[in-house]
A and B are shown apart, each in its own frame.
Chain A
Amino acid sequence: MAEPPVIRVQGLSTKFGSQVIHHGLDLEVRRGEIFCVVGGAGSGKSVLMRTIIGLIRPAAGKVEIFGEDRAGNDDSGRQRLEMRWGVLFQDGALFSSLTVAENVQVPLKEHTDLAPELIQEIVSLKIAMVGLPPDACTKYPSELSGGMRKRAGLARALALDPEILFLDEPTAGLDPIGAAGFDSLIMSLRQTLGLTVFMVTHDLDSLHAISDRIAVLVDKAVVIGTIDTLSRESHAWIHDYFHGPRARAAAPR
């Protein structure tokens, strides 16, 4: 049975003033895959993600998530949709006046009617699952390192057990060991929770380690493929990207 795609973007165009970011962009993300978006600086990777999650209105085109058109939804429909995905922003975007534990509690308190006791248990579980040490719970975001803020942000994104996880450069600014740890964390979460992951990244190691399919943003549109098919692509930028010195270093031998 051909399952409908989790995310379907059709003919998407985004503009800031007269500057066109995307033009007639199409892509589909299938259930359970790790879908990576790469592209040069300023090619609109984060804009694409923000458009899909509805923070930016497209100039034209359609974004469907779970087969529902975002634009056609009323407020309650939109909220139902928002409970089914988790978003991790670049620097975690934790609420700075709340502790890590309180940050993870926010979606649970807001969207469920669970008993406070169970919420505490779930929060504690999520924080342990993303690999934060127990003493991190009572800390404020400003007391955490960048890597720990990302993990805390991930715990918050996972609070409601979403079906889709949006990640904006999850490994940027992490040391190689931390980045590899983050990759394997996402892999194992995908395996156990059956997550669909939409990830904007620059990290070639991540691409090799965990991506199922990759969308390359070039010339305001996308080229989609696996790492193997994209390596044979003749477009100059894509060729350079996958055959540059760093790409060769990252490729598994």
Chain B
Amino acid sequence: MRTASGWFKTEREGERLRVIAGGSWETGALAELDGGLRRLAGEPVRIAAIDLSAVDSMDTAGAWVLYRTRRDLRARGVAAEFEGVDRSFADLLARVEEGDVEQTLVRDRLHPVIALIAHIGEVSLAAFHECASLLSFLGVTVITLGRSIVRPRRIRFTSLVSHIEQVGLTAIPIVGLLSFLIGVVIAYQGAEQLRQFGAQVFTVNLLGNSMLREMAILMTAIVVAGRSGSAFTAQIGTMQVNEEVDAMRTMGLDPIEVLVLPRVLALVIALPLLTVLADLTGLAGGALATVLVVDISLAQFMERLNNAVPLAAFWVGIVKAPVFGFLIAMVGCREGLMVVGSAESVGRHTTKSVVLSIFLVIVADALFSIFFLYIGV
């Protein structure tokens, strides 16, 4: 079906230009023809005829380059006409002419320096708005939480329990395993360093305090942010794309109450529990490493732990857990509700939710540290 590819030749007599085109003027053949035609449009002539009688086939792109040649010639005041146009080609040329409207295909580009400054401005403003909207979401959540506490019947217990299972129970293996390994690493590394001072026995102090105060809760929070915070965003975001959240609103259901609160409460309850688990497995991992590396028995380890680590260290870790859980769940849910339009948006917000919640968890942890230092715990 493909005939010889397109060609054209030109004949010039003084101020008259004659272009004879032939063959197949289809998209695939235009790469070679286009440049020649563009040069042609610049020929210093007054009258031009474009003879199409030898053209076998033409598609829109082919019609376009021919039409454009005539248009550009005319724009320079040349009397340009087509000749020998087949009827079906005439339709196509007319159609192409209709389609010749000014279109902006790329968004306007600014000067790079200005674009950079504008970008910095936009990002700063966005960060500011982000903080503001996070705070307002926090407010709405707390108000709804308060309302639910006053009237506990409004809490969706089925949903709450199911979320506690999803974020708590099913996270037990991964949280337990990871903190066990962290315990092993801290004890082993600590023992190596302390050996140089002949103070290997202080490994237990190091392990107990760092595990209970910081490592267990941070590890748990980060795993849960990656595991459950992202899941919250994806779940609510998908509902947002399906307009389920809008449907909920029209039925008089408050998405904060139905979607956000059970998730927030679930994490506030589950994260401390997971932290206790992480404390235990972390210490177990540490104990294993200590017993193997440092020359003490398990009983000595326990006794030393009991003397060296105050109970406050445990509470310092645990008290942070509900706050972190609240932050993770709130960010996850809010990002989910921010989803607009397409599935792509779900992906973007899920990533953002994980990054933001881990960031907030670590910032909050730093604030807690300063606070505890101040009150001397």
Proximity bits, A91-125, B CB within 8 Å = 1, else 0: 00000110101000000100011110010111111
Within 8 Å by CB of B60, from A126, A134, A135, A191, lies: A126
CB-defined contacts of A135 to chain B, threshold 8 Å: 104
Q: Is the CB of A118 within 8 A of B65?
A: yes
In the bound complex, CA of A156 to CA of B211 (Å) = 58
Q: Is the CB of A101 within 8 A of B106?
A: yes
Closest to A101 in B: B105
Closest to A189 in B: B95
Q: Give the contacts of A116-167 with B (CB-CB under 8 A).
A: 118, 120-129, 134-135, 137-138, 141-143, 158, 160-161
- Asked if B27 is an interface residue, CB under 8 A from chain A, the answer is yes
Known A-B contacts A97-B344, A125-B64, A138-B105; A191 and B99 likewise in contact (beta carbons under 8 Å): no
- Name which of A123, A128, A192 has the most chain B CB atoms within 10 A of its CB: A192
Q: Give the contacts of B146-205 with A (CB-CB under 8 A).
A: none
Within 8 Å by CB of B103, from A128, A143, A193, lies: A128
Q: What are the 7 closest A-B residue pairs judged by CB atoms, nearest first? A: A142-B341, A161-B59, A128-B99, A124-B103, A101-B105, A96-B344, A192-B91
- Segment among B5-13, B28-36, B303-311 that sits at the interface with chain A: B28-36
Closest to A141 in B: B342
Q: Is the CB of A129 within 8 A of B27?
A: no
In the bound complex, CA of A108 to CA of B261 (Å) = 50
Q: Is the CB of B105 within 8 A of A128?
A: no
Within 8 Å by CB of B31, from A112, A120, A141, A161, lies: A112
The secondary structure that dominates the B interface is helix
The 12 sampled A-B contact pairs (Cβ below 8 Å) are: A112-B28, A114-B34, A120-B105, A125-B64, A134-B102, A134-B104, A137-B104, A138-B105, A142-B341, A142-B345, A161-B60, A193-B59
In the bound complex, CA of A101 to CA of B104 (Å) = 9
- Asked if B258 is an interface residue, CB under 8 A from chain A, the answer is no
In the bound complex, CA of A101 to CA of B107 (Å) = 10
- Asked if B101 is an interface residue, CB under 8 A from chain A, the answer is yes
CB-defined contacts of A112 to chain B, threshold 8 Å: 27-28, 30-31
In the bound complex, CA of A108 to CA of B105 (Å) = 15
- Asked if B68 is an interface residue, CB under 8 A from chain A, the answer is yes
CB-defined contacts of A122 to chain B, threshold 8 Å: 27, 60-61, 64
In the bound complex, CA of A13 to CA of B313 (Å) = 70
For chain A, give the interface size range: 35 or more
- Asked if A184 is an interface residue, CB under 8 A from chain B, the answer is no
- Asked if A188 is an interface residue, CB under 8 A from chain B, the answer is yes
- Asked if B98 is an interface residue, CB under 8 A from chain A, the answer is yes
Closest to B107 in A: A138
- Asked if B231 is an interface residue, CB under 8 A from chain A, the answer is no
CB-defined contacts of B107 to chain A, threshold 8 Å: 99, 138
Known A-B contacts A137-B104, A188-B95; A161 and B27 likewise in contact (beta carbons under 8 Å): yes
Within 8 Å by CB of A129, from B99, B340, B341, lies: B99
* A65, chain B: closest CB distance, angstroms: 12
CB-defined contacts of A125 to chain B, threshold 8 Å: 60-61, 64, 96, 99-100
- Asked if B85 is an interface residue, CB under 8 A from chain A, the answer is no
- Asked if B250 is an interface residue, CB under 8 A from chain A, the answer is no
Known A-B contacts A97-B344, A121-B64, A129-B60; A114 and B27 likewise in contact (beta carbons under 8 Å): yes
CB-defined contacts of A138 to chain B, threshold 8 Å: 104-107
Within 8 Å by CB of B91, from A128, A143, A191, lies: A191
CB-defined contacts of B64 to chain A, threshold 8 Å: 121-122, 125
- Asked if B26 is an interface residue, CB under 8 A from chain A, the answer is yes
* A179, chain B: closest CB distance, angstroms: 21
- Asked if A194 is an interface residue, CB under 8 A from chain B, the answer is yes
Proximity bits, B76-95, A CB within 8 Å = 1, else 0: 00000000000010011001
In the bound complex, CA of A161 to CA of B30 (Å) = 13
Q: Is the CB of B88 within 8 A of A192?
A: yes
Q: Give the contacts of A40-62 with B (CB-CB under 8 A).
A: none
Q: Give the contacts of A73-106 with B (CB-CB under 8 A).
A: 96-97, 99, 101
CB-defined contacts of A123 to chain B, threshold 8 Å: 105
CB-defined contacts of B293 to chain A, threshold 8 Å: none
* A86, chain B: closest CB distance, angstroms: 12
Proximity bits, B332-345, A CB within 8 Å = 1, else 0: 00000000111111
Q: Is the CB of B34 within 8 A of A115?
A: yes
Q: Is the CB of B31 within 8 A of A114?
A: yes
CB-defined contacts of B96 to chain A, threshold 8 Å: 125
In the bound complex, CA of A191 to CA of B91 (Å) = 8
In the bound complex, CA of A160 to CA of B27 (Å) = 7
Known A-B contacts A97-B344, A125-B64, A193-B92; A134 and B35 likewise in contact (beta carbons under 8 Å): no
In the bound complex, CA of A123 to CA of B103 (Å) = 9
CB-defined contacts of A158 to chain B, threshold 8 Å: 60
Q: Is the CB of B101 within 8 A of A128?
A: yes
In the bound complex, CA of A32 to CA of B345 (Å) = 41
Closest to B93 in A: A192
Q: Give the contacts of A179-202 with B (CB-CB under 8 A).
A: 188, 191-194
Closest to A160 in B: B27
Proximity bits, B49-66, A CB within 8 Å = 1, else 0: 000000000011100110
Q: Is the CB of A142 within 8 A of B340?
A: yes
Given A101-B103, A112-B30, A193-B60, 20 more pairs with CB closer than 8 A: A66-B1, A101-B105, A108-B27, A115-B34, A118-B34, A120-B105, A121-B68, A124-B101, A125-B99, A126-B99, A127-B103, A128-B101, A135-B104, A137-B103, A137-B104, A137-B105, A138-B104, A142-B345, A192-B88, A192-B92
